[in-house]
Every structure is written in C-alpha cells, then in structure tokens.
Amino acid sequence: MESLSPRSLNFSRFLKGYTSFPDALEAAGPPLNLGPTPLGAPISMFAQDAGGDVLVHVEDGYTPGDSFGAWTMVGQVTCGQSDEWEKKLSKVKGPAWGDRLNSVLEPQAFLAVLHHVERNHLEHLVTGSKKVVLDRLRLTRMLGSLSADEESILDAVSGAPITSVVSRL
C-alpha cells in the first residue's frame, strides 16, 4: 500500500516500538496526517493491533491541512490459508476504527492475501459485507505499468485451473 498512497503505515511493525496500543496509535497520527483518539472506542487492555496491520489515509485532492471526509483504510495482512481468511477479515471493526482515527467516514476494511483469490471464494468473503479482499494479482495490476513478461505471468496465473474450497449452491 505504501506505493499507492503517500500516507500509509505498516502499523504491525510500527507498534513494536511502543509499550501500548494507545501510545502507538497516537504516534501514528502525524505520519498519516490524522489526529487519532486511541481510546475513542473500547479496546482490550491486552490489544496488540486491534485488528489493524496496515493503516492508510488517502488525502489526495483535499486541501492541505483539511482532509475532512478523506478516505481511510484499515487492513489485515495474512499469509494464512484460505480457510482462515474469513476470520482474519472479521478482525477489522470499521466503526471502532473510525472512532479511533477521528474519521467522519467509516474506514474501508480490507484483507490483503499473498495468494490468488478465486472468484467463488472472493464472492463468499465479500458478499453482504462492506469489506474488500486484495490478492497479489489485483495488487500487481494496480501498479499500472507492467512489462510484457509480467503481464503474461499474470495472465497465466489468472487462467490456471483452481480447485474451489467453496461450493456453489
């Protein structure tokens, strides 16, 4: 996400330098150009990251110093297998993160996975929710300028047969 927005933070790595979640979130505010209220929503006293591995603030197009209404995202990142993704995605609680980040808009929750997400499983994960799943193929295509070799690899992987773990009813 760092290449997609000038205001993104690997919060999982960032908070390792702090003794508590509230201290880490408070310190994350300036680099994200946000004024967080870490205790704006209830949180476990043992919280590590409160479900947020990555924090993003997209303020492009807004007046400098006034990003009221700008888009924020809070995401989980996983190397886990597909049967773990639904649980991982549920860890991001958008309304609570909106309160913690002082955002008038609920942050967009997302799950980034290192694998290709096949269509049926993607439908299963996001249908009826407001959350997004980003896989390596979709993230790679977001980069915009890919070489012919990179495009052919993406096409080959996208067209490869996948055994679905989700049955269609």
| pLDDT tens per residue across span 105-159 | 899 999 999 878 888 889 999 999 999 999 888 888 777 788 889 888 888 877 7
pLDDT score recorded for residue 119: 84
168 lies in some domain:
no
pLDDT score recorded for residue 6: 62
pTM for the predicted model, two decimal places? 0.80
128 lies in some domain:
yes
56 lies in some domain:
yes
What range defines the domain where residue 120 resides? Answer: 8-159
pLDDT score recorded for residue 153: 84
Count structural domains, the chain: 1
Rounded to the nearest 5°, which phi and psi values hold at 72?
-120, 150
20 lies in some domain:
yes
31 lies in some domain:
yes
pLDDT score recorded for residue 85: 92
Q: In whole angstroms, give the CA distance from residue 91 to residue 125.
A: 13
Are the beta carbons of 75 and 91 closer than 8 angstroms? no
Is 87 a residue whose pLDDT tops 90? yes
Average pLDDT over residues 74-78: 93
Average pLDDT over residues 8-17: 90
95 lies in some domain:
yes
Average pLDDT over residues 84-89: 92
Average pLDDT over residues 66-95: 88
137 lies in some domain:
yes
Q: How far is CA 92 from CA 60, 74, 155, in A?
A: 24, 7, 31
pLDDT score recorded for residue 124: 93
pLDDT score recorded for residue 10: 93
99 lies in some domain:
yes
